[in-house]
Amino acid sequence: MNNIWKRIIIVCLGTVIAGFGVQLIVTANLGSDSVSTLILGLLQHTTIPFGRWSQLLSLLFLLSTFIYKKELLGVGSLINTLLFGEAISFCANFVQFENSRPAIINFIYLLLGFTLMALGTAIYLRADLGAGPVEGIMFCLCDKLQFSLKYSRILIDFTIVLIGFLLGGSIGIGTIFAIFALGPMISAFLRVFSIIKAKISYPLQITEK
């Protein structure tokens, strides 16, 4: 298989995993990731579905990145923008909020959701076919302010959450988790992938005695 198609498949896989993670976070109803908090705020004023808002905001973020540093974008950026919202909508058919669900189950959904979101984000970033919408803004901030990846993500998430809250979006423990833990989790997964790649590329040499 051609290398570009392998990378496109990786982008699609990472996007779908991250999308499923977002739906689990929203379903837990314990506070959402930054963009979901913003969307939940926007839903208080419009009838546009959650998944469609995800796509619209992603296009806005991509446009901002394009204006500042368009070389960060690629075919993967467009795939992520279009597929992410669809993955959320698809997962919503199977996992939805329930008032009767035990709190411990919701907490497990929250942790699993953030893990999948961070893992999926790291996967499609490793494909190196262009940054995702929020990641594009994150890399621009890294370049502009000379921040590390994780601190840039924290600043972006905090800003988006604040706007979502002012629009009427709810916040909770998941929101705090999103602001302060999501960036470091993505960085951790990227480091793990780099270690795995290095070990595969340079296997241990066994010398005969």
Write the pLDDT tens digit of every residue in 66-101. Answer: 998 888 889 998 898 889 888 888 888 887 767 778
Average pLDDT, the chain: 86
Exposed e or buried b per residue across 59-87, where buried means at least 16 C-beta atoms within 10 angstroms of its C-beta: eebbeebeeeeeebbbebbbbbbebbbbb
| Separation between Cα atoms, residue 76 and residue 171, nearest integer Å | 30
Output the pTM of the full model.
Answer: 0.80
Is the per-residue pLDDT at 42 higher than 50?
A: yes
Higher pLDDT, 160 or 179: 160
Average pLDDT over residues 127-146: 84
Is the per-residue pLDDT at 153 higher than 70?
A: yes
Across 110-114, 167-171, 173-177, the highest mean pLDDT is recorded for 110-114
Is the per-residue pLDDT at 174 higher than 80?
A: yes
Higher pLDDT, 191 or 149: 191
DSSP H helical segments within the chain, as ranges? 3-28, 34-42, 50-69, 75-92, 103-126, 133-145, 149-166, 173-201
Average pLDDT over residues 120-127: 90
Report the percent of the chain where pLDDT is more than 70.
94
